[in-house]
Structure 1
Amino acid sequence: MKKIFLLIILLSSFAFTQEITESENKLTGILYTDSRITLEEFTEPSLPVFIPRQANKKSPFLAGVLSLIIPGAGEIYTGEYLKAAVFIALEAGLVTAGLIYDKKGDDKTSEFQNYADQYWDVVKYADWIVDNTQQEIDIDKNTQGLLPWERVNWQQLNNAERNANSILGEGFSHTLPPHGDQQYFEMIGKYRQYSPGWNDFKTENNGSTWNVTTPKMLYYAGERGKANDYYNTASAFVIGIYINHFLSVLDGVWSAINYNDNLAVNMRVQGQQFADHYEYIPTVNLKYSF
């Protein structure tokens, strides 16, 4: 068996050597003649197949996510730098304006709350209710160092307010929340029921008439309105921020899709015939449509 195998190898080697020798024997050593012989014996291989490839494709999903996080980031990712600058500038402007007006609202809120603490007195208001409805409200006027809202029994005050409606008539129907509550500062400037607590309310002139608006109450209401206007403006800028994010997401996705539609990249291995040999050369064809 080993002898047969060895014989096959020897015969194959002899045939291969014979083929090379025959090929070499055809060459004459003359460059012009040998070139013609080589070209006549050359058989061109079958044409290579195109290998389509997509290079540098942009992900619409990623572009959308980037723009959702930071407007304009998706546009940078897809190479739309001008639109990216617009979205980024809008974001910066909206955020800055929103913060400015929110700060204005905070400052104005502090102003009108300080104004209320200075010119509206719950003790004065409670005294007026006691005098005009003959109800009892415990008011500590003797202890030193107490603030006005710390001197009044708030539960008794609210009970007296509820009962006052039947005595003073319709409209006197609100109960005052504790000091510091947002509703506290809103109600004392909104409802005339609380006008007796303002220090420019003259009991000797008005008597039991409570349904009036004093100048300081009117001014206070205007200051509260300004604070609310500032906050509303800040909220409008926040809505603008959401809209800017949404539009940037849509544009980022569209830009990625448009980028991929305009970009075509093909790769192939192309054959090249030289004087004495045939060689394969990788080539890349890039096409971008504007």
Structure 2
Amino acid sequence: MKFCLALLISVLIGSVAFAEDWQAFMLSDALPVVTLSNEQGVVSVSSGDGEKEPQMKNPKAALFMSAVLPGSGQLYAKSYWRAAAFFLVEVTGWTLYASYKQQGRDIESEFHSYADTHWSEAEYWRYIAHHSGIAYSEENMEKLREWEHTQFSHGLHREKDQQYYEMIGKYHQFNYGWDDFRLQYPIEITHAEMTSQYIVSTNRYHYESRRNASNDAYKAATTGTTIALVNHILSAVDAAWTTHLYNRRLQTSVRLEPVYFAGEPQAFLTLRTCW
């Protein structure tokens, strides 16, 4: 149940000396008056001339609105600066996502093209053939792949997928496929020697740096979506609270009350608040 407290503030508005003046005062336009209903969540504000005043807002509706589009719940509660702030964060988050996502794709296309130019799959299989003792030919490819799997921790993918481009730059076993590596080291170099000496050719190093740059851009894009997600949650909670505050303001009214003082009708300013 809501309790209302009428506080007479000792501010004398004016004296009404005659009955006809009192009647005129009472018939004049009234200031807004809060009207309460026992129905839960229903409170309306009306004025003496019958003009409909702003209604209370639904905090749950505001929460849902901002959960879908940050700032919309605050706009619904007429909190325009809050609405603008949450909407701006939303735009910023998705702008970061789109920008870094495209940057990641551009760099990815760049290092794919670089690998296709400077890394040779045929030379890699020729290296495998030399160390396995299996002749390098189309007919022996399955045998070469089987030997590769028994000797190394990774096997080159048949398709040029994401793992294909990751492995050729990440692991030493694929060193011989890089063109500048073949210019510096003979085919007889073993995987153990490459690993122990941590041999990385210039082209392979550049390739890995560009692949890492692409991954960093994708991570930054993910940060953008995280910002947007957190913004949805915070905006939804804030919208519900802002709507609650909006309703609290509607539950407080100021009006003129006729009061007899010293035998004469006087107008007193009355604050009416509910909680």
Q: TM-score range by the shorter chain?
A: 0.5 to 0.7
Match of residue 94 from structure 2: 95
Q: Distance in 2 between matches of 1:230 and 1:287?
A: 58
Q: Distance in 1 between matches of 2:157 and 2:182?
A: 24
* Number of equivalent positions: 204
Amino acid at match of 1:219: H
What are the Cα deviations for residues 227-272 of structure 1, in whole angstroms up to 9, with x where unaligned?
Answer: 0000000101110000111100000011111111221279xxxxxx
Q: Distance in 2 between matches of 1:265 and 1:75?
A: 20
Match of residue 144 from structure 1: none
> Cα 1:157–1:252, aligned 2, differ >3 Å: closer, same or farther?
farther
Match of residue 171 from structure 2: 191
Report if the CA contact (8 A) 1:91-1:244 is conserved.
yes
Match of residue 233 from structure 1: 220
What are the Cα deviations for residues 109-145 of structure 1, in whole angstroms up to 9, with x where unaligned?
Answer: 00001111111111000001111220244349xxxxx
Report if the CA contact (8 A) 2:63-2:236 is conserved.
yes
Q: Distance in 2 between matches of 1:82 and 1:159?
A: 66
More helix by share: 1
Match of residue 174 from structure 1: 154
Report SS of the residue matched to 2:185. helix
Match of residue 236 from structure 2: 249
Amino acid at match of 1:65: F
Identify unmatched segments of 5+ residues in structure 2.
1-33, 38-42, 45-54, 254-269
Cα deviation, residue 97, structure 1: 1.3
Q: Distance in 2 between matches of 1:91 and 1:204?
A: 52
| 1:200 aligned onto 2:180 | yes
Amino acid at match of 1:77: Y
Relative contact order, higher structure (CA 8 A, sep 6+): 2
Q: Distance in 2 between matches of 1:158 and 1:194?
A: 13
TM-score of the two chains, using structure 1 as the length reference: 0.65
Q: Distance in 2 between matches of 1:286 and 1:121?
A: 85
Report if the CA contact (8 A) 2:129-2:144 is conserved.
no
Amino acid at match of 2:137: D
Report if the CA contact (8 A) 1:67-1:248 is conserved.
yes
Aligned mate of 2:190, from 193, 199, 209: 209
Report if the CA contact (8 A) 1:190-1:221 is conserved.
yes
| 1:115 aligned onto 2:117 | no
Q: Which runs of 4+ in 1 moved over 6 A?
A: 285-289
> Cα 1:286–1:224, aligned 2, differ >3 Å: closer, same or farther?
farther
Identify unmatched segments of 5+ residues in structure 1.
1-49, 141-151, 166-171, 267-284
Cα deviation, residue 51, structure 1: 5.8
Q: Tell me the C-alpha RMSD between the 2 structures.
A: 2.6
Match of residue 52 from structure 1: 36
Q: Distance in 2 between matches of 1:205 and 1:244?
A: 54
| 1:224 aligned onto 2:204 | no
Q: Distance in 2 between matches of 1:71 and 1:288?
A: 31
More strand by share: 2
